Amino acid sequence: MKETVFKKFGSLVLSKETMKERLPKDVYEAFETASSKKGELDNASADVIADMMKEWAIENGCTHFCHWFQPLTGSTAEKHDAFVENNNGELLLKFSGKSLIKGEPDASSFPSGGLRATFEARGYTYWDLTSPAFIRGNTLCIPSIFISFNGEFLDKKGPLLKSIELLDEKVTELLRLCGWKEVNSVKPYVGLEQEYFLIDRPLYKKRLDLILTGRTLFGHSAPKGQELEDHYFGAVPTRVAAFMKDVNEELWKLGVYAKTEHNEVAPRQFELASIFADANIAVDQNQMIMDILKRVAYEHDFACLLHEKPFAGINGSGKHNNYSLICDDGSNLFAPGKDHKEQLRFLLFISAFVKAVDTYPELLRMSVATAGNDHRLGANEAPPAIISVYLGEYLENIIEDFAAGNDVHDLKMVHDYNIKGFKNLPADTSDRNRTSPVAFTGNKFEFRMLGSSCSAALPNLVLNTIMAKALDETIDELKDVKEEDLERKVVEIIKKNFSEHKKIIFSGDGYSADWIKEAVERGLPNITSTVEAINHYDDRKNADLLEDYGIFSESEIKARKTILFEQYSNTLAVEIRTLLKMVNRQVLPSIARETLEYKNADSAMMKKHYEKLCACYDSISEAIGKLENDLNRAMEEKDEYQLARKMRDLSNDEMPEIRKYIDEYESISSKEIFTVPTYSEILF
């Protein structure tokens, strides 16, 4: 191949092919066996692998290695160690199997929700053999899980891996029961679409709210918003194109298949989608994507905002999670089949998914609950806070047919658009419904409730686990069925799944007020705030599910719930304190200065303006006095749930009020005096 950027694809990731090339045959086989969970890695092999990794890393400019893990903060963490050792006064470059497999970062400063008291601060990281090591800067990063001294998970990856194994076990068992003996393993595959805002760094640096909270806490709407719909899919601006080019090249070097990029709906909003990968890797890669977006933005004098709602009045950002189950023979269990038998299998898995979502909507809702996402879910842009499943007219027709006792028919559909040269185009098996939180899109389900800054680990853990449960119940129903009755029974189960869980299926407009009413009548939960969503974590039903399958212990659930409450309350406390600071140091002094210019004016209109400014000053000043008092009072609350509720009320009731006054002032303020960058300046 000629020297192109693609030549460097994967150059910074230690692929299996490179490992195979560089390792003795028996050592590579030991690695393969261990990474496919069929055996343990012996110490001697680990030493050889570590040494090879060190050589490869040093050749590529590395001086350090680290265990790269995902603590419950939601981002990633690492502690770097150099390859250097002192060998009696001589420099020795060394990386042992022991250091490869196990690390021991001081765990005391990561959230543990009480699982680990500071006096027993030990925490361990263990190499995840299923996700490849990669290079960032001068460091070899080794994807790892993070657990406490007592073996409790302190991270997001460990439990996700457990859920992937659980699902594999249940799917393969069910497929065998149904006579699909050729399948040995199944994995969930995930494709993530990442939305973000890109704004000028010099303006970003002038707004404390953007720096500390990731969003604007006030700001009068620009005269133009997204109403002209001229940004979506429009030509990418030159500076942004240069940024995207660098982002892609960085990601390709890391073996991430960055694929699609385009302008999003709101001004300055963009999207990057990478090609789907197995869930564990997709989640890791999404962390890299978020990291690289931020770093490259910095190099281009931009700031990348991953917050779910950086600006009021225009769309926020999400992260669509495309999900399917793919077997080791390449077949996708959510893809319509080619013949009768495959078609039954397809419907069995689709119906199990519908059952899973309908049985555990609260848990799914919880998995995407964050303070930032509350500004988005249920607003007029993202999916509503009510979970429903969209299957599309085509699939719904099949199901109806099926329920009426008709045989499953050929699933191929063609369109005849009646344009010359465009005859018999294959049609998608589903239309698009943008308002649905969970939509079937032809051969996968798209879960659209994730916030843009969210780690995709928990939502996928929940999808895997609830799916495993639904399949487990199917296994029980089929276990003792005689071979000749099998098909009849499978048909019966599909029908039952669809009819018993009909209430979750909805094809209409998810934004409409009528739907909220109808959903309540159907008995679907409408959990509008993060506080209530978190509170469902340990509902009996949910705790039973997670504990029975060994995904979490009772104490792990309790700890995770505590951490989510803490993160929520802390996020809001930071927002409130930031608002107070900006008001006291910027807004009020500006108004005061501005009044001086009008104070002694003779003009009646100028006098009026003066009075308007004074009124703004008084309203803001009074409201922030109250907010400060109320914050201090709320912070005395000891109960985590009650504290979170109080913070939510401050955020919902008092902050918008203050914002209204500030925006009023901003709209009449002097550009010279009030220098906080406005929406017009930032967005256009």
Q: Where are the alpha helices (DSSP H) in 195-339?
A: 201-204, 208-213, 238-253, 279-299
Instruction: Using the minimum distance from each CB to Mg ion, give the nearer residue, 320 or 345.
Output: 320
Smallest CA-to-CA distance from 350 within 336, 339, 364 is with 336
Smallest CA-to-CA distance from 320 within 145, 454, 150, 211 is with 454
Minimal distance in Å, beta carbon 409 to ligand ADP?
Answer: 23
Instruction: Using the minimum distance from each CB to ligand ADP, give the nearer residue, 326 or 564.
Output: 326
Instruction: Using the minimum distance from each CB to ligand ADP, give the nearer residue, 87 or 260.
Output: 260
Residues 192-211 that bind Mg ion (CB under 5 A): 193
Instruction: Using the minimum distance from each CB to Mg ion, give the nearer residue, 320 or 365.
Output: 320
From CA 604, how far away is CA 598, in angstroms rounded?
11
Instruction: Using the minimum distance from each CB to ligand ADP, give the nearer residue, 149 or 233.
Output: 233
Q: CA 371 → CA 145, 154, 308, 525, 651, distances in Å?
A: 26, 21, 9, 19, 10
Minimal distance in Å, beta carbon 4 to ligand ADP?
Answer: 22
Name the closest residue to Mg ion (Cβ).
320
Percentage helix, strand, coil for the chain under 3-state DSSP, each rounded to 5: 50, 15, 35
Minimal distance in Å, beta carbon 25 to ligand ADP?
Answer: 34
Say which entry of Mg ion, ligand ADP, none residue 324 contacts (CB below 5 to 8 A, set by partner kind).
Answer: ligand ADP
Minimal distance in Å, beta carbon 167 to ligand ADP?
Answer: 14
Can you say how many angstroms the Cα of residue 206 is from the centroid of all Cα atoms in its chain? 28
Say which entry of ligand ADP, Mg ion, none residue 273 contacts (CB below 5 to 8 A, set by partner kind).
Answer: ligand ADP
For the range 233-242, what are the long-range contacts, defined as Cβ-Cβ under 8 Å and sequence gap of 24 or more?
Answer: 233/262, 233/263, 234/263, 236/261, 236/262, 236/263, 236/270, 239/300, 239/302, 240/198, 240/270, 242/300
Residues 442-481 that bind ligand ADP (CB under 6 A): 443-444
Residue 381 binds ligand ADP (CB under 6 A): no
Instruction: Using the minimum distance from each CB to Mg ion, give the nearer residue, 113 or 384.
Output: 384
From CA 668, how far away is CA 661, in angstroms rounded?
11
Minimal distance in Å, beta carbon 352 to Mg ion?
Answer: 23
Minimal distance in Å, beta carbon 156 to ligand ADP?
Answer: 20
Structure-block tokens of residue 199 = 């704004």
Minimal distance in Å, beta carbon 297 to ligand ADP?
Answer: 21
Q: Which DSSP letter does residue 422 get?
A: -
Q: Which DSSP letter does residue 537 get?
A: T
Residue 275 binds ligand ADP (CB under 6 A): yes
In this structure, are strands 123-127 and 139-148 parallel, antiparallel, or unpaired? antiparallel
Q: CA 522 → CA 107, 113, 359, 449, 494, distances in Å?
A: 46, 36, 14, 21, 21
Residue 273 binds ligand ADP (CB under 6 A): yes
Name the closest residue to ligand ADP (Cβ).
191
Backbone angles phi, psi at 316, to 5 degrees: -95, -175
Minimal distance in Å, beta carbon 273 to ligand ADP?
Answer: 4
Backbone angles phi, psi at 218, to 5 degrees: -155, 175
Q: Return the residue of 322, 429, 433, 465 that touches ligand ADP, per CB under 6 A.
A: 322
Instruction: Using the minimum distance from each CB to ligand ADP, give the nearer residue, 7 or 262.
Output: 262
Residue 320 binds ligand ADP (CB under 6 A): yes
Minimal distance in Å, beta carbon 272 to ligand ADP?
Answer: 9
Residue 157 binds Mg ion (CB under 5 A): no
Residue 406 binds ligand ADP (CB under 6 A): no
Instruction: Using the minimum distance from each CB to Mg ion, give the nearer residue, 320 or 444.
Output: 320
Smallest CA-to-CA distance from 651 within 587, 579, 568, 576 is with 576
Residues 304-323 that bind Mg ion (CB under 5 A): 320
**Binding site residues, Mg ion, CB under 5 A:** 193, 320
**Binding site residues, ligand ADP, CB under 6 A:** 189-191, 193, 260, 273-276, 320, 322-324, 332, 443-444
